Amino acid sequence: MDDGHNKPHPLTADEIREIADLAGLQSRWGACTPDELVKMLTGSWYTARFDYVTGGLGYVGDYFVVIDDALSEPVTIRRNNRTGKLQIVQGDR
């Protein structure tokens, strides 16, 4: 049965805004404001959310992937299950 876990889903407008508000990501891609980063994220970039479930004990929840239009190192982000806030997992320089 296909329950949609670990398959890519498009980001909602609220999720895009949450990602654009993360400290460090604006400067990574040369955006001066969160609004500029929103425009980048909704342009030609690859963005996806996964309803992630590990194969064993570990993380379960929202997991995001962002790849810019230059195919730089992907940024991965997850939602902290305790606080509900997004955290950069990989790719923040």
Res. 27 pLDDT band, cuts 50 70 90: confident
The predicted pLDDT at position 42 comes to: 94
Average confidence (pLDDT) over 23-40: 89
Average confidence (pLDDT) over 7-27: 92
Average confidence (pLDDT) over 3-27: 88
* pLDDT above 70 coverage of the chain, percent: 88
Distance CA 5, CA 51 (A): 5
The predicted pLDDT at position 1 comes to: 44
For the segment 50-89, what is each residue's pLDDT rounded down to a tens digit?
988 777 777 778 999 999 988 889 999 999 888 999 999 9
Strand order in the sheet with 60-67: 8-9, 46-53, 60-67, 75-79, 86-90
